[in-house]
Structure 1
Amino acid sequence: MAELLPPLKPIAIKERLSILFVEKGHLDVLDGAFVVVDKNGVRTHIPVGGVACLMLEPGTRVSHAAAALAARVGTLLVWVGEAGVRLYSSGQPGGARSDRLLYQAKLALDDAARLKVVRKMYAIRFGEEPPSRRSVEQLRGIEGVRVRETYKRLAAKYGVAWKARNYDTQEWDRADVPNRCLSAATACLYGVTEAAVLAAGYAPAVGFIHTGKPLSFVYDVADVFKFQTVVPVAFRVAAKKTPQPEQAVRLGCRDVFRETRLLERIIPTIEDILAAGEIAPPTPPEEAVPPAIPNPKSLGDAGHRA
Structure 2
Amino acid sequence: MAYVERGRLDVIDGAFVVVDKNGVRTHLPVGGVGCLILEPGTRISHAAVVLAARAGCLLLWVGEAGVRLYAAGQPGGARSNRLLYQARLALDETARLKVVRKMYALRFGEEPPERRSIDQLRGIEGARVRAMYQNLARLHGVAWKGRNYDHQNWDASDIANRCLSAATAALYGICETAILAAGYAPAIGFLHSGKPQAFVYDIADIWKFETVVPMAFRIAATGPAQPEGEVRRACRDVFRKTNLLEKLIPAIDNVLAAGGLDMPKPPPEVQPIAFEDKGKIGDAGHRG
Query: What TM-score results when the alignment is normalised by the length of structure 2?
Result: 0.80
**Higher RCO by CA contacts (8 Å cutoff, separation 6 or greater):** 2
Question: Is the 1:100–1:281 contact (alpha carbons within 8 Å) kept by the matching residues of 2?
Answer: yes
- Alignment CA distance shift 1:201-1:225 (3 Å): same
SS in 2 for 1:76: strand
- Residue of structure 2 aligned with 1:188, choices 170, 178, 190: 170
- Alignment CA distance shift 1:74-1:166 (3 Å): same
- Residue of structure 2 aligned with 1:77, choices 61, 64, 69: 61
Shift of 1:259: 3.5
- 2:281 maps to 1:273: no
SS in 1 for 2:71: strand
Shift of 1:96: 2.5
Structure 1, residues 166-204: CA drift from partner, whole Å, max 9, x if none? 111111111111111111111111111111110110111
- Alignment CA distance shift 1:78-1:52 (3 Å): closer
* Moved beyond 4 Å, runs of 4+: 27-36, 48-56, 62-67, 69-75
Residue 44 of structure 1 corresponds to none
Residue 120 of structure 1 corresponds to 102
Which amino acid is 1:169 matched to? H
Shift of 1:33: 4.3
Map 1:20-99 onto structure 2 (within 5 A): 32-33=17-18, 52=37, 54=39, 65=46, 68=49, 74-77=58-61, 89-91=71-73, 93-99=75-81
What is the count of residue pairs matched by the alignment?
Answer: 270
SS in 1 for 2:61: strand
- Residue of structure 2 aligned with 1:139, choices 91, 113, 121: 121
Unaligned runs of 5+ in 1: 1-9, 37-47, 57-61
Shift of 1:98: 0.8
Question: Is the 2:58–2:74 contact (alpha carbons within 8 Å) kept by the matching residues of 1?
Answer: yes
Question: Is the 1:93–1:305 contact (alpha carbons within 8 Å) kept by the matching residues of 2?
Answer: no
Structure 1, residues 50-101: CA drift from partner, whole Å, max 9, x if none? 9846489xxxxx887499389766452359xxxx9x8963336543321111
Moved more, 223-232 or 96-105: 96-105
- Alignment CA distance shift 1:63-1:301 (3 Å): closer
Map 1:140-289 onto structure 2 (within 5 A): 140-289=122-271
Question: Is the 1:165–1:179 contact (alpha carbons within 8 Å) kept by the matching residues of 2?
Answer: yes
SS in 2 for 1:227: helix
Distance 1:54 1:211 in 2: 29
Which amino acid is 1:295 matched to? E
- Residue of structure 2 aligned with 1:295, choices 276, 279, 285: 276
Question: Is the 2:37–2:59 contact (alpha carbons within 8 Å) kept by the matching residues of 1?
Answer: yes
Percent of paired sites with the same residue: 58
Query: What TM-score results when the alignment is normalised by the length of structure 1?
Result: 0.75
Distance 1:177 1:249 in 2: 11
Unaligned runs of 5+ in 2: 22-27
CA-atom RMSD in angstroms = 3.6
Which amino acid is 2:253 matched to? E
Shift of 1:257: 1.8
